[in-house]
Amino acid sequence: MSRDSSAKPASKPLDLKRLRLKSRADRAHKVEIDALAATPGAGASFADWLGSLPQFLGASALRRIVEAVVAAHRAGRNVLFAFGGHVVKTGCSPLIVDLIDRGIITAVATNGSGAIHDLELAQTGATSEDVAANIRSGEFGMVRETCDAMNRAALNGAAVIGLGRAIGEMLEAEHAPFRRFSILAAAARAGIPATVHVALGTDTVHMHGDADGAAIGAATMHDFRMFCDVVGTLGADEASGPAGPGGVFINAGSAVIMPEVFLKAVSVARNLGRDLDAMHTANFDMLTHYRPTQNVLQRPVQPGRGHSMVGQHEILLPLLRMAVIETLEKRP
């Protein structure tokens, strides 16, 4: 058989001795000895332990978030904490309540799930049913007290004080036995904005015959407009100019509702002439999701001002709280 004369010549091993090399001393490095972890001994203070973290990736992101929160607090800027139901369900409510009491968190926002778990925990000292066990029997979500309380709050808050404030004030007025663990009650005591953003049909209380869609809609619409106003304050203070510290928006555990609401509020604020370029945002969650990445960390903020923390709430949020209050103890 004759060889096709049009065929390409056979390949041969490339002579790698012809490569141009340079000294390692002339190369830029992403990892240097000064950025490695330290090894504090047993009994070290939290500040020493925090300072021992390596200066990479998640540890660096945590430091940047803490710096942004501390700078906002010292400058009198707002720190807006948005949360989903899992923040409550993983036992983190006391951390947020403490930061409210300290005046560090100055506004809170949540979805319907977060409000329900917050309310149940305050009234009963327990929350979160076993969905898998109850969905097959048709018992999932079929409890009387939660629906009655949420519906009453919606009727009281409709278009007047909003759903978040109505829930918090109701828990306080009724002396809910465990209201000291309620984020919404803490916000009501502190007199700070507390908003609840409901998507009708997503929450168990919407299944009940007494659920008043008009009242829920009016109350949560009031809260959206309140939320827009708070988001509009997250830029730099006019006195300090655009280079001054801005406020901080933290989204913890809401993969859809709060990122979507936040994006719309940012658009409203900028449409009305608010400069949000100094704002920092942060997202805390167990997984990386599309909407928080786009709507919290990237689209609304200047490059480098969106910070992601991936991990368990019950580990990351205690770290955040302790790092913030330790840093605030130091002089500016």
Q: How confident is the model at residue 10 (pLDDT cuts 50, 70, 90)?
A: confident
Lowest mean pLDDT among 129-143, 179-193, 287-301: 129-143
CA distance 66 to 70: 6
269 phi and psi angles, rounded to 5 deg: -60, -45
pLDDT of residue 146 exceeding 90, the answer is yes
Q: How confident is the model at residue 240 (pLDDT cuts 50, 70, 90)?
A: low
- List, for residues 119-137, the tens digit of each pLDDT value: 999 999 999 988 988 888 8
Single pTM value for the model: 0.92
Q: Is residue 28 part of a domain?
A: no
Domain hosting 282: range is 56-329
The pLDDT of residue 5? 60
Q: Is residue 265 part of a domain?
A: yes
Tell me the average pLDDT across 299-303: 94
The pLDDT of residue 141? 80
Q: Is residue 46 part of a domain?
A: no
DSSP labels, 77-97: --EEEEE-HHHHHTT-HHHHH
Q: Is residue 150 part of a domain?
A: yes
Q: Is residue 74 part of a domain?
A: yes
- Per the CB < 8 A criterion, the answer to whether 218 and 196 are in contact is no
The pLDDT of residue 68? 97
Q: Is residue 173 part of a domain?
A: yes
Q: Is residue 35 part of a domain?
A: no
Q: How confident is the model at residue 98 (pLDDT cuts 50, 70, 90)?
A: very high
Bridge partners of residue 250, in order along the sequence? 81, 282
Total domains in the chain come to 1
pLDDT of residue 331 exceeding 80, the answer is no
Q: How confident is the model at residue 26 (pLDDT cuts 50, 70, 90)?
A: very high
pLDDT of residue 1 exceeding 60, the answer is no
- Per the CB < 8 A criterion, the answer to whether 65 and 282 are in contact is yes
The pLDDT of residue 244? 76
CATH number for the domain that contains residue 241: 3.40.910.10
Lowest mean pLDDT among 75-79, 173-177, 235-239: 235-239
- List, for residues 215-229, the tens digit of each pLDDT value: 999 999 999 999 999
Q: Is 248 helix (H, G, I), strand (E, B) or coil?
A: strand
pLDDT of residue 177 exceeding 80, the answer is yes
Residues ≥6 apart with Cβ < 8 Å to 2: none
The pLDDT of residue 8? 73
- List, for residues 308-327, the tens digit of each pLDDT value: 999 999 999 999 999 999 99
Q: Is 210 helix (H, G, I), strand (E, B) or coil?
A: coil
- Per the CB < 8 A criterion, the answer to whether 203 and 167 are in contact is no
Q: Is residue 316 part of a domain?
A: yes
- Identify which of 242, 241, 259 has the alpha carbon closest to the alpha carbon of residue 250: 259
The pLDDT of residue 329? 87
Tell me the average pLDDT across 144-150: 92
The pLDDT of residue 6? 67
